[in-house]
Amino acid sequence: AIADVIFGYYNPSGRLPISWYPQSYADKVPMINMNMRPDNKTGYPGRTYRFYNGETIYTFGDGLSYSQFQHRLTQTPKMVSIPLEKGHVCRSSRCKSIDAVEQSCRNLAFDIHLRVKNVGKMGGSQTVLLFSTPPSVHNSPQKQLVGFEKVFLKGRKEAVVTFKVDVCKDLSVVDELGNRKVALGRHLLHVGSVTHSLNVKI
């Protein structure tokens, strides 16, 4: 099977589920330290693509293909408003986040429509990864995976891929006390080199 890939009879489309780190990373990170977030005081760099921003050999989501794919957003909202119940304590612009378990936060979702084009001659599949970068509150991750969709395209063909994003589930982060919060402000959605700014407000 690997010979078919090497000689170009089969177009690979797999993605890495983890990041591969250089030896220098393994040398300075204790194996018993499972903290995800970096610690500037101790020089601990953090773990996983969500928090570590140093050198990698391969990064989470990397993959190879004989085809090249282009992405273009066709329909995505620029703002999402979370309705709050009357008398809610968070009613001013000073609020940086709200609890993701709020009743008003449930079933709040929107669609992202992305046009994917295979610009190569060879047909192939691509797993489209949608990431978000939340506002810098609660020591939030630099990015996190929102969703993924796999699509097969013949050479020079294109298709529309749709993601349904649950605001309080997919865009939330866990704060320092372990509570899931939805950060208010500018969230950055990105697929490959394509980015989109989304303002989450109350």
Tens digit of pLDDT for each residue in 24-82? 998 889 888 889 999 999 989 999 999 999 999 999 999 999 999 999 999 899 999 98
The answer to whether 192 touches 71, Cβ cutoff 8 Å, is: yes
**Which region holds residue 92: left if phi is over 0, alpha if psi is between -120 and 50, else beta?**
beta
**Which region holds residue 93: left if phi is over 0, alpha if psi is between -120 and 50, else beta?**
alpha
The average pLDDT across 183-189 equals 96
CATH architecture for the domain at 67-201: Sandwich (2.60)
For the chain, what percent of residues have pLDDT higher than 70? 98
User: Beta strand 109-118 with 158-166: parallel, antiparallel or unpaired?
Assistant: antiparallel
- Above 80 in pLDDT, residue 102? no
The ranges assigned to domains in the chain are: 67-201
Tens digit of pLDDT for each residue in 135-167? 999 999 999 999 999 999 999 999 999 999 999
pTM of the model: 0.92
User: Beta strand 158-166 with 144-153: parallel, antiparallel or unpaired?
Assistant: unpaired
Rounded CA gap, 57 and 21, in Å? 6
Rounded CA gap, 157 and 152, in Å? 10
Beta strands in 28-176 (DSSP E): 69-75, 79-81, 97-99, 109-118, 124-133, 144-153, 158-166, 172-174
Residue where the block lists tokens 């986040």? 97
Q: Which residues contact 72 (CB under 8 A, 6 or more apart)?
A: 114, 115, 117, 194
pLDDT for res 7: 93
* CA 91 vs CA 29, 48, 72, 78, 180: distances in Å: 43, 35, 36, 21, 19
